[in-house]
């Protein structure tokens, strides 16, 4: 009996030694840069952390927030590897020599629109003639989206007044400081309607196909860390699908990351639902992506924000979504 116990102890020690010599592979530490501030619209990334999706793909992801132009410099110079960036920022950065590349589009539709009170009778882009338009500033997706829509309607800078109002679109509109405001489709329109205002909404995507926000990396990561990029893209895909399938869960998870997000805030819950409707849950054919990027480059060239054309096919990669 003693001999059996002795051999059992030896076997146990041997198994323990085998387990300790084959530890779980270490997770790859990654910083994912998000523009803006913590917000329910970033729910998929909160879900990916809390539901173990990043861990499933061998990733230990930290979220960071900041100015898009600053963050794209970090990623383009390979000081960091991933961020969410708008399509125009990718093209502008590449035109300036920063080798950033989109590896997955987040939005299927360009998420910008023009909101106005119904009493203003702005029901089509041509109705913007002679109007004062409020927007955060002459930069970013809001500015690009408005200018694209105005150009599509044959309007020039002389036909309207743009007024920088920061992120005060709702108050500026309802207090009649401006005639219309440039908004994110999933945000300010929800707030306006919740406050009882009847609005008209011109969606840029109804008139033009442009690139919205994307998961962005750099060329060095594509060539030297393709496995890492694939894992990040796959994790994002699963996170989007998981959050879209259970918005209530995604909202509750977001409360851990978004300060003062109430347990039952109908406006914020609706913002999440509107965001989900914009997400690209399935891959688009390459020719569709190319067209969106070409359209975006045309707008940037027309605005004088880019001096020369670049090869838009180098601005994105669809290898990781096939």
pLDDT by residue for the chain (322 residues), tens only, comes to 444 444 444 444 444 544 445 556 699 999 999 988 999 999 999 999 999 999 999 999 999 999 888 999 999 999 999 999 999 999 999 999 999 999 999 999 899 999 999 999 999 999 999 999 999 999 889 999 999 999 999 999 999 999 999 999 999 999 999 999 999 999 999 999 999 999 999 999 999 999 999 999 999 999 999 999 999 999 999 999 999 999 999 999 999 999 999 999 999 999 999 999 999 888 777 788 899 999 999 999 999 999 999 999 999 999 998 7
Which candidate, 277, 268, 269, 283, places its Cα nearest to that of 244?
277
Residue 248 buriedness (CB in 10 A; 0-12 / 13-18 / 19+): exposed
Instruction: Fill in the DSSP letter of residue 106.
Output: S
The secondary structure element, H or E, covering residue 115 is: strand 112-117
- The rounded distance, in Å, linking the Cα atoms of 132 and 141 is 19
| Alpha-carbon distances, residue 275 vs 67, 110, 251, 260, 267 (angstroms) | 21, 11, 12, 20, 12
What gap in Å lies between CA 293 and CA 295, rounded to an integer? 5
Q: Which helix (H) or strand (E) is 237 found in, with range?
A: helix 226-245
The pLDDT of residue 200 is 98
Please state whether the predicted TM-score (pTM) of the whole model is above 0.85. yes
For tokens 């639902």, the residue is 273
Q: Is 81 exposed, middle or buried (CB count within 10 Å of its CB: 0-12, 13-18, 19+)?
A: buried
Q: Sign of dihedral through CA atoms 52, 58, 62, 67?
A: negative
Q: Residue 257: what are its φ and ψ, rounded to 5°?
A: -110, -25
By the 8 A CB rule, do 185 and 111 touch?
A: yes
Structure tokens at 50: 């809390």
Task: Compute the distance between CA of residue 184 and CA of residue 186 in angstroms, rounded to an integer.
Answer: 6
Q: What is the DSSP letter of 107?
A: B
Q: Do 70 and 252 touch, CB atoms closer than 8 A?
A: no
Phi/psi of residue 97, each to 5°?
A: 95, 5
For residue 145 the two structure tokens come to 């989206």
Backbone angles phi, psi at 181, to 5 degrees: -135, 150
């Amino acid at each position: 009996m003693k001999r059996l116990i002795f051999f059992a102890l030896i076997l146990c020690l041997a198994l323990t030694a085998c387990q300790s010599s084959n530890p779980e592979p270490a997770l790859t530490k990654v910083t994912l840069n998000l523009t803006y501030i913590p917000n329910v619209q970033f729910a998929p990334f909160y879900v990916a952390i809390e539901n173990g999706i990043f861990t499933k793909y061998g990733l230990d992801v930290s979220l960071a927030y900041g100015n898009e132009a600053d963050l794209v410099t970090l990623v383009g110079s390979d000081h960091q590897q991933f961020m969410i960036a708008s399509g125009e920022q990718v093209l502008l950065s590449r035109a300036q020599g920063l080798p950033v590349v989109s590896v997955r589009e987040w939005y299927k539709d360009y998420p910008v629109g023009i909101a106005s009170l119904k009493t203003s009778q702005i029901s089509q882009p041509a109705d913007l003639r002679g109007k004062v338009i409020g927007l955060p500033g002459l930069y970013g997706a809001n500015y690009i989206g408005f200018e694209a829509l105005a150009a599509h309607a044959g309007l020039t800078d002389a036909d309207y007044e743009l007024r920088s109002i920061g992120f005060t679109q709702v108050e500026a509109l309802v207090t009649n400081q401006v005639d219309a405001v440039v908004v994110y489709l999933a945000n300010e329109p929800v707030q306006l309607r919740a406050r009882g205002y009847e609005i008209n909404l011109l969606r840029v995507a109804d008139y033009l196909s442009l690139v919205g926000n994307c998961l962005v990396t750099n060329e060095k990561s594509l060539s030297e860390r393709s496995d890492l990029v694939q894992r990040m893209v796959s994790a994002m895909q699963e996170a989007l699908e998981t959050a879209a399938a259970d918005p209530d869960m995604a909202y509750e998870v977001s409360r851990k990351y978004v300060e003062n997000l109430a347990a039952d805030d109908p406006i914020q819950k609706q913002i999440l639902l509107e965001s989900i409707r914009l997400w690209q849950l399935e891959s688009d054919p390459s020719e569709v992506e190319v067209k969106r990027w070409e359209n975006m480059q045309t707008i940037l060239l027309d605005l004088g924000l880019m001096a020369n054309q670049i090869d838009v096919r180098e601005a994105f990669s669809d290898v990781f979504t096939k």
